[in-house]
Amino acid sequence: MRNYSSLIFLFILTLVMAGCEKDKDAEPTKEELLMAKNWKITAVKINGTVNGTAGEVDYYNYLIACQTDNFLKFNTGGVVVVDEGAAKCAPTAPQTTQGTWSLKENATGDILTIGGNILLSYGLVKTSDRDLTVVTLNNQTLRVTFNESVTLPGFPIAIPATIDLTLTAQ
């Protein structure tokens, strides 16, 4: 009888162990999501006001092939690299340019700070740090907005604008 009790106990223990749900894999942190893949800009919208009229421009259509194949790689240690991709706009330009990045949460959401000249290859000329407001961050999409003066085609002066960038994981 004692052996049966032990067997029954082991049988019940096995059922209990098998019935326990395995712990789900830990969700990646936001930093891990950024560092997991290369990111390519797939949409650029610019919202600004010219002569009192507000409007939106789909600026991605103005980028040229040597800009649309560029990608960003967020690395450990706060290093971000922009790679010129297969087509370089200037043959003598370096293949990669390095900058810095950090991701911080504040009262209104996440702020991705990018430092260095890494956005020059996209036609943005500001070289100081940019604070980008994170709108979406998941394993496929990084969407950010930021304010910057830009010169749009057909306008001779820079206008203050909100830039909405969508990057897609590669």
Please report, for the domain that includes residue 157, its CATH number. Answer: 2.40.128.280
How many structural domains is the chain composed of?
1
DSSP state of 3: H
Assess if residue 24 is contained within a domain: no
Domain range for residue 113? 30-169
Model confidence over 105-158: pLDDT tens digits? Answer: 988 889 999 988 777 666 676 777 889 999 999 999 999 999 988 877 676 777
Tokens of 75: 């690395």
Q: Is 133 helix (H, G, I), strand (E, B) or coil?
A: strand
Please give the helix or strand (H or E) that residue 16 lies within, else none: helix 2-19
pLDDT of residue 53: 76
How far is the C-alpha of 95 from the C-alpha of 91, rounded, in Å? 9
Q: With respect to residue 97, please indicate whether it lies within any of the assigned structural domains.
A: yes
Range name among 39-43, 47-51, 81-85, 161-165 with the lowest pLDDT average: 47-51
Task: Give the pLDDT confidence of 22-36 residue by residue, as tens digits.
Answer: 556 789 999 999 999
Query: Which residues touch 86 (CB under 8 Å, ≥6 apart)?
Result: 69
